[in-house]
Each structure stands twice: as structure tokens, then as C-alpha cells.
Chains A and B, each alone.
Chain A
Amino acid sequence: MNPGLQHFLVLSAALFACGLLCLVTRRNAIGLLMGIELIINAANINFVAFSRHLGNDRAGQVFALFGIALAAVGVTVALAIVFALYRNFNKSIDVDDASRLRG
């Protein structure tokens, strides 16, 4: 049987959960970015599923497209910053090292 709306929602919820989990557990900066990507793509899936469910309402798909674009933008900037992190924190992109600002 072809997948209905619920299946997509379950998939996106799962993706969302993985993203959150990945964000919280990963020590590696790149790993965090992956988590972020997962969350945004989960939302995109949602949008596409709903636009299909609402009778091919194009707004959802447009939103998904923008979502992808903005995800890309976000990741590029994040990678630039991770690169700066790499250079400044003697070759380590471990997030826990970068915790000197506290209190």
C-alpha cells in the first residue's frame, strides 16, 4: 500500500528526534551540523507531505525549497566558523574545548 500522510509524519518525527539526539550527544562540531541538517530536512519532509495532503497546495513545496536553500546558507556559515574554530583551538574541533566563556 502506498505511503499515506501519517507515514511521512512519522518519518519526519523520527528524523527530528535523531537530529535533536545528535545535537545533544555529538562532541564533534561537524556532527552538530549534521544534526542541524537532519532537523531542517525533517521539517522539509513535513512541508512536502502536507502540501501533497492539502491537494497539491504549492505553498508547502515553495517553503521546502526555501528550507533547503536556507539550510545550505546556514551550513556554509557554520562550516566557516568551524574552520575558524579549527584554526584557533590548535587543530581541534571538539565543542567541549570551546567553553572558556562561562559564569
Chain B
Amino acid sequence: MTQYPLLALIPLLPLLGAAYNAFVGARMQKRFGYAAVHVPAILMPGISFVITVLAFARLVSLPHHERVLTTTLWSWMPVGSVDAGVAFLMDPLALVMCGFITFVGTLIHIYSVGYMHEEPSYWRFFSYLNLFMFTMLVLVLADNFILMFVGWEGVGLCSYLLISFWYKEKKNAVAGMKAFIVNRIGDFGFLLGLLLLFWSIHGVTGGSSVVFRNIEEILAQPAVREALSSQTVLGLSLISMIGILFFVGAMGKSAQIPLYVWLPDAMAGPTPVSALIHAATMVTAGVYLVARLHFVFALSPLVMSWVALVGAVTAVFAATIGFFQHDIKKVLAYSTVSQLGYMFIGVGVGAYWVAIFHVMTHAFFKACLFLGSGSVILGCHHEQDMRRMGGLKKFMPVTAWTYFIACCAIAGFPFTSGFFSKDEILWKAFDSGNLLFPGGGLMIWALGALGAVCTAFYMFRSYYMTFTGEYRGAHGHNGHGGHQPHESPRNMTHVLVVLAAFSLVAGFIGLPHLWHLPSYLHHWLDPVFSGSAEIIRSAGHGSGHEWALMIFSVALALTGWAFARWLYRDNRNAAPSRLIESKHPLVCGIHRLVYNKYYVDEIYDAVFVGFVMWFRKICDWIDRNIVDALVNFAGLFGRLVGRVHGLTDTHVVDGAVNGTAWSIASMGSALRLVQTGNLRTYLYIAISGAIALVIMNFILFG
């Protein structure tokens, strides 16, 4: 555990940038123009990237199994056994994540200089972007759960701020709110998982901690493992319940099946935001969490298979929705959800390093795709509907080429980064041995393969619809006057080229063992995941199977590409339009179902949001009419105050009135009737009172 004080600078620099822009940005922008805003904003993540490289150099120099750099700033919550401190930890896994976050982040900062160039609140955008970098880096570098939770919800906040960046339209604000609340549901699961883990360890060993390394050491002891898996809560073993709860957190953040609804709506934000947050970095936080807690997940086969299954189902489900989407960013959003499904398959079957490999490669090509779509949108003057694009290859050659390369990568064409990482995941899924049911690996692999075909199809569909054929843009016809789509400025295209290059090259650091070539990434991440290595058992298929699968997945990618090319190239083929207008009930039904995203959003609104809104009305009514009335001394106060104060406030008085049958106030007015003012009634009462006294004296005291 070598101390490395520079670590603290990595997250703090972007924070500095964010603070600078937030407080001073507006004035600087007015006085010195845009440069004064975006130069420091780009510089900060850049320096963080440089420090990450230095840290990498420092790590490499350390022996294989002690590659951990830490720095502790101050102890944050020293209460009881909760020993959380503001401390950062850089181990190989964190380095990989930190590396591509800072690298892709800096590139996207450069890109957004071009993309947002005429935005009035330019400074606000960059301060939010820097704030996001800060929170993401805190999430990745945190050495304990609570600091990670700070990063975890911090990124949720930044995604909220950035999605509703153009807050003037109501739908953007609503999308931002939806993202935050769905993330918050995930965080609810994360919190409960953390508490359950913390206290169950405390129950077993008497001492507990929130720091990952301590927990890993504690869980390494067989006695603790046996105790955690034997005790049950709500029918599940303790360790699997902890795993499921953490996975709920991961689902919320990484948009898996039940909690993915916010990601497509998150496209309401500016495209660089979608690229940075909703493609490359934030959404992978869930995968990072599961990878970081590999020692927890590995212990319970049930959770492993659950994660893999959810990943696989999400992969296929999101891919199918991608077929009929017209908005280019929605297509990419659903592709992100489906690619995340693949990562969770990787983590679910225990191939952690492969999942991280896919996270990295996905960061490159998905960022490239999103930025490509960004430059397309900018080129066509904020037009996002693919049906009104087409033939942009002529106008935007660089964007077209980089988009094409990224599509090949994501589809998994041979020798692209996507091919290596996705194929490795499919192979590990096929070969995994420790899923619950023996055939599990095969089924997950099958779903993955189906997803791969769909991915190839809808990606190339989007390519062909936008870049081939003739321009269907609304402004002016092909070839003369009007607003011609134009190529994006240099600072955007250079970023696209870099990313496209990386999405080709990145694959070579994780070559499959089949080719007996050194897999640097596997070797690099090995010490991190050594803890659960012996638990993960492979089904022991020969390398023959691996070759067959590799060829089969390439074939899948090609078929997907061919299909898309046949249907959508230069949109000559009328088949897709015929399919849409066809009256055939079954086809039309399926099309409408898929086009409307299986009506998931509508179902959620009706069920969950509906229930909450209904229940709040009930609570409010109870509060105003029953609690208020009952507690006011049985209506004395309410009715009395209502009447005496001449209030016509219906809620208060109604509530109080119906609680007055035996209220003191009504007794009060009854007493006034007794005081008639007639002397003889007084005497009568006096005498009867005396007699009552005498009788009472006898009855009570004999």
C-alpha cells in the first residue's frame, strides 16, 4: 500500500475547474470570450489524465501483487466501527477505469467546444461537465463504500443537471428529474446492500468496516463465507441478498431491465453529455461496482446467474427496440443499454477482466458513435430524425468514415476492438461453469449471439439511413441553395478520428488466449480479481469450441450487416416502408409494440407514478381532516376556533365539525343553557346539588 499523494489531485483538479467556471465563468465568458471558459475546463481533466499516466508508470514499477497506491486526506465519519475516510485508492482496475474516463472525458471536452459554440450559458455547461468528471473520478477512486456513494449520487446529480441543461423546454426538465429519481431507486438498493453487508459482517466477526480491502480480507476467511451463506434473510442466503441489493444499485445506474427507462429519455441532454455520461462513463459505474465487489458476487452462484441472465435479457430486449427507432440518438441509447447487458453477462459469468475490457472498448466506439451523431445533428441544424437525413457521406466524409469504423467495431467485425471484447464475453459465457443450472452458459451465450445480430443490424441500419442515399433534409433540395449539411469544424472531427482509431486499436491489448498472444489487460487486472479466481470454474470446453464460436460470431456480424445493407442502403429498397404501412394485424401489431418501446414507460407511469400520486392525496386528506381534527382536543379546538374565528376554511372546519359529537366545546354551550338567569332554577339546582352531595357521601363512603 504505497502512499501516492498525487492521487488526490486527479479528482480535485476537475472540481477546481468546476468551481472556477461556476463562480467566475460567467464574467470571464463575457469579458474574455469562450476561450477563458473552455481552456481551463479542458486543461483540468487533461492534467488528471497525465497524473493517471504517471500513476500507471508508478504502478508498473511495483511488484505484481502489491500494485496499490493510496492517499488519505482526512477521516470523514469516525463513528463506531464506521471508519470511512476521504481516501483514494488506485489499483489496476481503478487505473483502467480512470484512464479511459480522463482520456475520453478530455476528448469530449474538446469536442464540446465545437458543439456548444453558440450556447449562451457556455460556462455553465463546462462547469457541470467538470463537476461530472470530479464525481466520476471520486466514484472510481474511492477506497470505501461511503465515498463511492458520494461519487455514485454525485454522478446522478450531474447527469440530472446536464440532461436538463436546456431547461427552457419542460420535457428536458422532466427527463432530468426522471433520470435522478430512477437513479435514486437504484441508490436505495445500493444503500440497503451496503448496510446489510456491513452489519452481517459485524454480526459474524464482531468488527466491521466499509473499506473494500478490509471487507475483502474478512470475506476471504472461510468461516465468514460459510456463516454468510448459511444465514438466510427472506428465504435467500445472506450473501446472495447482499449481492442482489448491490445489483439493484448497479441496475439503477447502468440502466438494466427494470430501471433502464431513464436512459432513452436522457438523450434530451446535449450530445457530448450523452456521449460522456450516458455512453462512456457513468453508465459503466454499475459494471465497475460489480467488478469491485467481485469477492461478494463470486460467493453466490444464484447472484452470478441472476446478473448474467438480466444482462442477457437486457441485451436482446434493448437491441430489438433499436430496430424501428427513427431518432439517431435513441438508437444509440438503446444500443448502449444492450452493450451494458453484454458487460453484465461478462461480470455475471465471472469474467471480470473481460467485462472491464468491453467497458473500455465500448467507451471508445460508443463515444465515437455518439459524437458522430452529434456532428450529424449539428450538420443538419439540430435535426435528429434519420428519416430526414441521408446521403451525408458526400457532405460529411470524415464523420461518415469514423461512424462506419465505429459501427464495425460495435458489430464485432474481425480485428476491431468490439470483436475481441464481445467475442471473449460470449466465449466466457458459453464456457462458464458456475451458473446455477448446467445449461445456463449455453442459454446466455445464445441470447448474447442473438443480441449481436440485432446490434449489427440496427447499427448499420442507422449508418445507411443517415449516410447513404440522397439527402431528405427539409431545407432546400439536393444540390442547390437552402441549408446544406456541412462538415463539423476541425476540433470535432479530430476527436472523431482519434476515437475511431482507438476503437480499432484498443482491441489488441486483450487478445484471446486462443491465439497464444500475450493478453496484457488480463495480466494487468489479474491481481485485482485474484481473490475470487479460484471460485470461478470454467466448463472446460476445448479450444476447438472457441474457434468455432469466434467464426460463428463473425458470421453473425456479417449477416446483420448484410441484412441492414440490403434493406436500407441508399434507401432504395421499399421493404421497410411497406412493413410500416402493412395492414396485416400481426405485423402491424408487432411493429407498433416494438416502435412504442413495448409501452414500458406508459406501464411504469400508470403503476408506480400513479400509485404514488394517489397515495399522497390519501395522506394529505388524512392529515388535514382526521389527524388535525382528532388531535385538537377532540374537536374542541377546531370547531371552536373555526366558529369563533369565523373561518370558512372548509378543510379545517369540516374536519373538526365531524369530530365534535362529544367535544368539550359543545358541552360548553350546553352549560350556557343551564345558566338561565331565572332565580328559581338557581335555587332548585342549589337544593338538588345539596341533596346530591349527601347521597354521594353515602354511596361512596357508606
Output the least CB separation between A34 and chain B (Å).
14
Binds A, one of B5-13, B607-615, B676-684: B676-684
Cα-based distance from A73 to B679 in the complex (angstroms)? 22
Q: Is B584 an interface residue (CB 8 A)?
A: no
Contacting residue for B687 out of A20, A25, A32, CB 8 A: A20
Q: Does the CB pair B680–A96 fall under 8 Å?
A: yes
Cα-based distance from A96 to B677 in the complex (angstroms)? 9
> Chain A residues near B680 (CB, 8 Å)?
23-25, 27, 95-96
> Chain B residues near A101 (CB, 8 Å)?
677
**How many chain B residues touch A (Cβ–Cβ < 8 Å)?**
10
Q: Does the CB pair A99–B687 fall under 8 Å?
A: no
Q: Does the CB pair A99–B678 fall under 8 Å?
A: yes
> Chain A residues near B677 (CB, 8 Å)?
99-103
* A35 nearest in chain B by CB position: B683
Binary flags per residue of A60-103, CB closer than 8 Å to B gives 1, else 0: 00000000000000000000000000000000000110111111
Q: Does the CB pair B672–A98 fall under 8 Å?
A: no
Output the least CB separation between B509 and chain A (Å).
96
* A98 nearest in chain B by CB position: B679
Contacts A99-B677, A101-B677: A23 and B683 contacting too (C-beta < 8 A)?
Answer: yes
> Chain A residues near B678 (CB, 8 Å)?
95-96, 99
Cα-based distance from A23 to B677 in the complex (angstroms)? 16
Q: How large is the interface on A (under 10, 10 to 19, 20 to 34, 35 or more residues)?
A: 10 to 19
Q: Is B675 an interface residue (CB 8 A)?
A: yes
Cα-based distance from A20 to B684 in the complex (angstroms)? 9
Cα-based distance from A101 to B676 in the complex (angstroms)? 8
Does more than half of chain B's interface fall in helix, strand or loop, or is it mixed? helix
Q: Most chain-B Cβ atoms within 10 A of its Cβ — which of A32, A98, A102? A: A102
Output the least CB separation between B676 and chain A (Å).
6
Cα-based distance from A20 to B683 in the complex (angstroms)? 9
Output the least CB separation between A95 and chain B (Å).
5
Q: Does the CB pair A99–B679 fall under 8 Å?
A: yes
Output the least CB separation between A86 and chain B (Å).
15
Output the least CB separation between B174 and chain A (Å).
61
**Cβ < 8 Å to A, chain B residues 631-678:** 672, 675-678
> Chain B residues near A32 (CB, 8 Å)?
679
Count: A-B pairs, CB below 8 Å: 30
Q: Does the CB pair B683–A102 fall under 8 Å?
A: no
Q: Does the CB pair A24–B675 fall under 8 Å?
A: no
Q: Most chain-B Cβ atoms within 10 A of its Cβ — which of A24, A27, A32, A98? A: A24
> Chain A residues near B684 (CB, 8 Å)?
24
**Cβ < 8 Å to B, chain A residues 15-49:** 20, 23-25, 27, 32
Cα-based distance from A94 to B679 in the complex (angstroms)? 11
* B681 nearest in chain A by CB position: A99
Q: Does the CB pair A24–B676 fall under 8 Å?
A: no
Cα-based distance from A17 to B679 in the complex (angstroms)? 19
Q: Does the CB pair A24–B687 fall under 8 Å?
A: yes
* B671 nearest in chain A by CB position: A103
Contacting residue for B676 out of A20, A23, A27, A99, CB 8 A: A99
Q: Does the CB pair B679–A102 fall under 8 Å?
A: no
Contacting residue for A95 out of B672, B676, B679, B687, CB 8 A: B679
* A29 nearest in chain B by CB position: B679
Q: Does the CB pair B679–A24 fall under 8 Å?
A: no
* B676 nearest in chain A by CB position: A102
Cα-based distance from A32 to B683 in the complex (angstroms)? 11
Contacts A20-B687, A24-B684: A103 and B675 contacting too (C-beta < 8 A)?
Answer: yes
Cα-based distance from A20 to B680 in the complex (angstroms)? 11
Q: Does the CB pair B683–A103 fall under 8 Å?
A: no
* A23 nearest in chain B by CB position: B683
> Chain B residues near A103 (CB, 8 Å)?
672, 675, 677
Q: Does the CB pair A102–B687 fall under 8 Å?
A: no
Output the least CB separation between A32 and chain B (Å).
8
Binary flags per residue of B1-41, CB closer than 8 Å to A gives 1, else 0: 00000000000000000000000000000000000000000
Cα-based distance from A27 to B681 in the complex (angstroms)? 11
Binary flags per residue of B241-264, CB closer than 8 Å to A gives 1, else 0: 000000000000000000000000
> Chain A residues near B675 (CB, 8 Å)?
102-103
With A24-B683, A95-B678 known, 15 other A-B pairs at CB within 8 A are A23-B687, A24-B680, A24-B684, A27-B680, A95-B679, A96-B678, A96-B679, A98-B679, A99-B676, A99-B678, A100-B677, A102-B675, A102-B676, A102-B677, A103-B672
14 contacts between A and B (CB under 8 A): A23-B680, A23-B683, A25-B680, A27-B680, A95-B678, A95-B679, A96-B679, A98-B679, A99-B676, A99-B679, A102-B675, A102-B677, A103-B675, A103-B677
Which are the 10 A-B pairs with shortest beta-carbon distances?
A102-B677, A99-B677, A99-B678, A95-B679, A103-B672, A23-B683, A101-B677, A24-B684, A102-B676, A24-B683
